[in-house]
């Protein structure tokens, strides 16, 4: 296996970068979408329930099925991969953002309003920072989950390490089939761990010392 890695280090590195960049960009996009939706939702218990329901139900949809459905309108390529990965990444962040925002102590919100902060300032400077650790936990869950989903996305010609696994599958029994699959799988697990550590560090750096656990 080592020879395989050394031989193809450029291809593997390229695919690893593609995989991570797909995941990171989709998670970033998903975070923005999810926080936007959560801001719209969290003030009303009804809409909050709806958001939680959508999140829970959305997560039951098998990723291969969703990719299949997306192929019909979009065809092969990066578009269905990005849509599917972003879709799944939104759900945990959405749920956590709603719960995190709804969990902010109302007396603090009142304090903020009471000293003359506008609605927007209260949201940006008080509510979102206080909900941030919970939101970030959602982002971590999302990232771990979509690392695997991105592998399946390779089947619809999305970029990334899934390509190695599928090339192993298509040449099964042939030379290096096992190596390709093994390298692809292990690389995904390792990169998922690395991303998790990175997010942990991001959390340390972006969470106020006053609310760190």
Partner 1 sequence: MSETTVSQQSGPIGEGVTARQVSGVSIRLAGVTKRYPGQPAPAVDAVDLEIPAGETVMFVGPSGCGKTTLLKMLNRLIEPSGGKIFLGDEDVTGQDPDQLRRRIGYVIQAGGLFPHMTVAANIGLVPRMLKWDKERVTARIEELLELVGLDPAVYRDRYPRELSGGQQQRVGVARALAADPPVLLMDEPFGAVDPITRQRLQDELLRIQEELGKTIVFVTHDFDEAVKLGDKIVVFDVGARVVQYDTPEAILADPADEYVADFVGAGAALKQLSLTRVHDVQLRPVTTASVGDATAEVVARARAAGDDYVVVLDRRGRPISWPSLPELERVPAVPGTVDEKLPVVGHGSTLNDALDTMLAASQGGAVVIGRRDSLAGVVVIETIMEAIQRTRQGASE
Partner 2 sequence: MTVDTGRSQAPSTAAEDERDTAPPRKGGGWRALAVQPTLVVLGVVAFLVWRSTTTLSETEARQLGWTVLANSVREHLYLTFAAAVIVLAIAVPLGIALTRARLRRFTPAVIGVANVGQAAPAIGLFVLLATWLGFGFRTTVIALVLYAALPVLRNTMVGIQGVDNRLVEAGRGMGMSAFAVLMRVELPLAVPVMLAGVRTALVLLVGTATLATFISGGGLGVLINTGITLSLNSLLIGGAVLVALLALAVDWLGRVVEHVARPKGL
Please report which helix (H) or strand (E) contains residue 160, including its range.
Answer: none
Residue choice 112, 145, 153, 187 for contact with partner 1 (CB under 8 A): 112
Residue matched to tokens 């690389």 = 187
Q: How far is residue 93's CA from residue 49's CA, in Å, rounded to a whole number? A: 15
Residue choice 118, 194, 197, 202 for contact with partner 1 (CB under 8 A): 118
By CB under 8 A, is residue 166 in contact with partner 2?
yes
By CB under 8 A, is residue 39 in contact with partner 2?
no
Name the residue nearer to partner 2 (CB basis): 17 or 71.
71
DSSP type of residue 127: I
By CB under 8 A, is residue 210 in contact with partner 1?
yes
Contacts of 178-186 spanning 24+ positions with Cβ under 8 A: 179/1, 179/4, 180/4, 182/1, 183/1, 183/4, 183/5, 183/12, 184/15, 184/151
By CB under 8 A, is residue 195 in contact with partner 1?
no
By CB under 8 A, is residue 126 in contact with partner 1?
yes
By CB under 8 A, is residue 64 in contact with partner 2?
yes
Site string for partner 2, 134-153 (x = CB under 8 A): x-xxx-xxx-xx-xx--xx-
| Residue 33 interface partner, choices partner 2, partner 1, none, CB cut-off 5-8 Å depending on type | none
Sign of CA dihedral 125, 128, 131, 133: negative
Q: Contact positions toward partner 1, by CB under 8 A?
A: 107-108, 110-118, 121, 126, 129-130, 207-211
């Amino acid at each position: 296996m080592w020879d395989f890695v050394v031989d193809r280090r450029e291809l593997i590195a390229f695919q690893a970068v593609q995989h991570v960049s797909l995941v990171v960009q989709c998670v970033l996009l998903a975070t923005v979408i999810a926080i936007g939706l959560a801001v719209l939702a969290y003030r009303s218990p009804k809409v909050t329930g709806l958001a939680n329901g959508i999140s829970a139900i959305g997560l039951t949809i098998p990723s291969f099925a969703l990719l299949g459905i997306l192929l019909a309108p979009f065809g092969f390529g990066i578009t269905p991969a990005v849509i599917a990965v972003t879709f799944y990444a939104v759900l945990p962040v959405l749920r956590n953002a709603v719960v995190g925002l709804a969990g902010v102590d109302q007396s603090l919100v009142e304090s903020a309003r009471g000293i003359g902060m506008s609605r927007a300032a209260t949201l940006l400077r008080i509510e979102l920072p206080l909900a941030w650790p919970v939101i970030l936990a959602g982002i971590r869950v999302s990232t771990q989950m979509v690392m695997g989903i991105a592998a399946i996305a390779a089947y619809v010609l999305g970029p990334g390490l899934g390509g190695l696994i599928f090339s192993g599958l298509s040449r099964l029994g042939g030379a290096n089939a096992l190596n390709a699959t093994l390298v692809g799988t292990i690389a995904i697990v390792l990169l998922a761990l690395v991303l998790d550590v990175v997010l942990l560090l991001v959390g340390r750096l972006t969470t106020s010392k006053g609310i760190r656990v």
